[in-house]
Amino acid sequence: MNNNMRNMAMWALVITMFIVMISMSQNSFQAPSETPMKYSELVDKVEAGQIKMAEIDSDQGYVSGETMDGKKFKVNSGRYNEEPQKLFEANDVVFDHVEPKTTSPLMAILFNALPLLLIIGVSLMFMRSMQGGGRGGAMSFGKSRAKLLNEPAGKVTFDDVAGVESAKEDLKEVVEFLADPTKFTRLGAKIPTGALLVGPPGTGKTLLARAVAGEAGVPFFTISGSDFVEMFVGVGASRVRDMFADARKNAPCIIFIDEIDAVGRHRGVGTSGGHEEREQTLNQLLVEMDGFDGQEGVVIIAATNRPDVLDKALLRPGRFDRQIEVPYPDIAGREKILQVHMRGKPMSADVDVKYVAKGTPGFSGADLANLVNEAALLAARRNKRKIAMREFEDARDKVMMGAERRTLAMSEEEKAMTAYHEAGHAIVGLNMAGSLPIHKATIIPRGRALGMVQYMPERDQISQSRQEMIARMAMAMGGRAAEEIKFGYDKVTSGASSDIEQVTRIATAMVTEWGLSDAVGPIAYKNTDSNSFHPGIGRGSSISPETAAVIESEIKRFVTEAHETATKILKKKKKDWVSLSEALLEYETLSGDEIKDLLKDGTKPHRPDTSAKPKLSAVPTTRGGPSIGKAQPES
């Protein structure tokens, strides 16, 4: 019986006892229905012959009866008093004795003990609610909040985790130890006490820890780092002790601490009470991990995406001495993750998992799961029996850019502005060495963007060359340059805001981080001040004003040259640019192949509607919307 059932049963018992007590009290002390009469009046009426009949209840001390005129009466005569009987006999009044009521000893005891039992029951309920019944009551703040997950059926295994093969290989040793500790201990080997999973959000750190428990078939305790920290000093340390005590009772087992940076940050900074509580909690965690014996069979797995803020004592050998990187999956990893999430879902024959994986660089496992789910939702809304490639295309655009806004009221001038803007991006990208192949151009509003040009990388880009960066900046400035050429200097809009921000960010990194400026040289001026827009020239920087001026000048030079390059290309390829803009106004969306055919021999798309060709896209460039860093290759 769980805690809720026990609480309900106890409350039901208390309420039943209360009702019984009230009922018995009412039955025992019910007010008499007869007319009360004084004993002296009874004597006068008996002597006057006005009493028809009477009953004597010696046990309760009452005399009741009926007068000659039909009125009932009741007189308090006192218990075991013989005077009423003598009075009735002397005056020839018909009377009788009431049989004394017999009460069982059990009922008598229950009736007498019922108030006490009721008080005890209410007290127990109050104390249990204060202790929380294992659910964090007022008196249970020192108890562990770790949840025990023991999944004999439907447990998670390594087959359910894909895209992180290197991390799984590192954790298989932990699985073997938990399954057969003597295999290691007989040779004098000691398994690492703790394993720290490090990686971006959504990459499957928690799933990996559950898979280790599932493979080894051991209990799995899970808790968040924030569950240890309270406003009262000592509470977190108490919870740590209680958690490890529970783990030892269930050994071999796994303790999983999610977001351990909430409690494991560097010590020695700050003076507030909350900071003191966090340090005491961390100290207790360090002590408990030090006290582990290799025979106990308790392994700690923690996860964080901020390993740089963890205390050094937490990472030394003997504690979290093994750090396992869980990065974003590569193309092969994304393909395996998609296959896992596609299990049990009806897929159309045109779904190419490799192509979907290729078009989702930078997606985490959680992102890919969301992508498959969105595709399934779209197919259901369209009353389809299977999920087709078109659903994956639309789902990815929705995840990256937001839902389509076909109901957005745009004037003809705004549509033309968007078409020429996006065509400018495409034409510059097609004529720049190092640019990615174009996959799709559209002027359908989506999210905050009024249009976009999407690119398909041939592979996951780990690094970028100078040529690729320059091409990327020129392509991004193609929209602003197109607006200036077509509509004039005074008609330029704010639609290129995200493009300008993207170009500025690339130029700043080239100058201050990657050493790609001849004037500045291969020196890193990156500043960790998050409030500074330009890394290296913000507040707290140690560089001189002269160097800051050179950095600003170089950043401006890169941005300006990108704009000039885009302007030259659009003027040189004006015919292609205008042709593509008019096609976008007519068809709204063009695939990469349709753009190539159009620019090659003027062939226009032959399709019954203006929908895009059902393929997957990547790396969008938007007008009037935010830059989509998730789909862009990492620097």
| Pairwise pLDDT comparison (478 vs 67), residue with the higher score | 478
**% helix / strand / coil in the chain, to the nearest 5?**
50, 10, 35
Helix (H) and strand (E) counts in the chain: 20, 15
b/e per residue, 271-288, with b = 16+ CB within 10 A? Answer: eeeeeebbbbbbbbbbeb
Lowest mean pLDDT among 82-86, 137-141, 242-246: 137-141
pLDDT at 28 over 70: no
Residues in the chain: 635
Residue 218 has pLDDT above 70, yes or no: yes
- pLDDT-based confidence at residue 347 (cuts at 50, 70, 90): very high
The better pLDDT of the pair 157, 15 is held by: 157
pLDDT band at 148 (very low <50, low <70, confident <90, very high): low
Q: What is the dihedral of CA 42, 44, 48, 53, to 10 degrees?
A: 10
Confidence (pLDDT) at 505: 94
296 is catalytic: no
Distance CA 182, CA 176 (A): 10
The better pLDDT of the pair 94, 503 is held by: 503
| pLDDT value at residue 504 | 94
| Confidence tier at 508 by pLDDT (50, 70, 90) | very high
Cα separation, 301 vs 173, in Å, equals 13
Lowest mean pLDDT among 266-270, 457-461, 548-552: 266-270
Task: Quote the pLDDT of residue 53.
Answer: 85
- Identify the CA nearest to 613 among candidates 371, 350, 235: 350
Q: What's the chain's average pLDDT? A: 76
Tell me which of 446 and 608 has the higher pLDDT.
Answer: 446
| Long-range interactions of 607-614: CB distance < 8 A, separation 24+ | 610/586, 611/390, 612/393, 612/440, 612/442, 613/440, 614/350, 614/388, 614/389, 614/390, 614/393
Using left for φ > 0, alpha for ψ between -120 and 50, and beta otherwise, residue 29 falls in: alpha
Please report the sign of the dihedral spanned by the C-alpha atoms of residue 387, residue 389, residue 393, residue 394: negative
- Assess contact for 208 and 164: CB atoms under 8 A: yes
DSSP 100: P
Span 503-507, average pLDDT:
94
Q: Which two tokens stand for residue 556?
A: 């401006």
Q: Would you call the peptide bond into 100 cis, given omega within 30 degrees of 0 as the criterion?
A: no
What is the pLDDT at residue 528? 47
Residue 241 is predicted with a pLDDT of 81
pTM beyond 0.85: the answer is no
Instruction: Compute the average pLDDT of residues 258-286.
Output: 72
**What backbone phi and psi angles, to 5 degrees, belong to 303?**
-135, 145
Residue 257 has pLDDT above 60, yes or no: yes
Backbone dihedral region of 576: left (phi > 0), alpha (psi from -120 to 50 degrees) or beta? alpha
Q: How far apart are CA 498 and CA 475, in angstroms?
A: 13
> Quick one: pLDDT at residue 481?
93
Give 213 or 115, the one with higher predicted confidence. Answer: 213
More confident residue, 472 or 605: 472
pLDDT of residue 296: 64
Q: Is the pLDDT of residue 634 over 50?
A: no
Specify the 3-state DSSP secondary structure of 156.
coil
Query: Model confidence at 126, in pLDDT bands (50, 70, 90)?
Result: low
Catalytic residue among 422, 483, 484, 594: 422
Q: How far apart are CA 475 and CA 62, in angstroms?
A: 109
Q: What residue spans of 136-204 are helical by DSSP H? A: 165-179, 182-185
Q: How confident is the model at residue 502 (pLDDT cuts 50, 70, 90)?
A: very high
Residue range 120-129: average pLDDT? 66
Q: What is the pLDDT of residue 274?
A: 46
Evaluate if residue 268 carries a pLDDT over 80.
no
Maximum separation of any 2 CA atoms in the chain, in Å: 141
* Cα angle 394, 164, 359; round to 5: 25
Least confident of 140-154, 223-237, 544-558: 140-154
Arithmetic mean of pLDDT, 169-180: 80
Mean pLDDT of 174-182: 78
Distance between CA atoms of 469 and 486, rounded to whole angstroms?
26
Q: Which residues contact 375 (CB under 8 A, 6 or more apart)?
A: 387, 391, 392, 394, 395
DSSP 8-state class, residue 349: T
Q: Is 448 or 584 the better-scoring residue by pLDDT?
A: 584
What would the mean pLDDT of 495-519 be, rounded to a whole number? Answer: 91
Q: Write down the pLDDT at residue 611.
A: 43
Least confident range from 129-133, 228-232, 609-613: namely 609-613
Q: Which of 321-325, 333-337, 618-622 has the highest mean pLDDT?
A: 333-337
Q: Report pLDDT for 567.
A: 94
Q: Tell me the average pLDDT across 424-443.
A: 87
User: What does the pLDDT average to over 190-217?
Assistant: 82
Segment among 228-242, 354-368, 543-557 with least mean pLDDT: 228-242
What are the backbone angles phi and psi of residue 562, rounded to the nearest 5°?
-65, -40
Reported as a single tens digit per residue, the pLDDT across 75-120 is: 887 766 777 777 877 787 777 777 666 556 666 676 677 677 767 7
Give the per-residue pLDDT at 553. 94
262-to-148, 274, 302, 363, 413 alpha-carbon distances in Å:
21, 12, 12, 26, 52
Cα angle 8, 14, 18 (rounded to 5 degrees) comes to 145
387-410, pLDDT tens digit by residue?
A: 999 899 888 888 877 777 766 767
Distance of CA 562 to the CA centre of its chain: 41
Please indicate whether residue 142 or residue 300 has the higher confidence score (pLDDT). Answer: 300
Report pLDDT for 75.
Answer: 82
Average pLDDT over residues 267-286: 67
Are the CB atoms for 336 and 163 separated by under 8 Å? yes
Residue 95 in contact with residue 58, Cβ under 8 Å? no
Residue 571 pLDDT > 50: yes
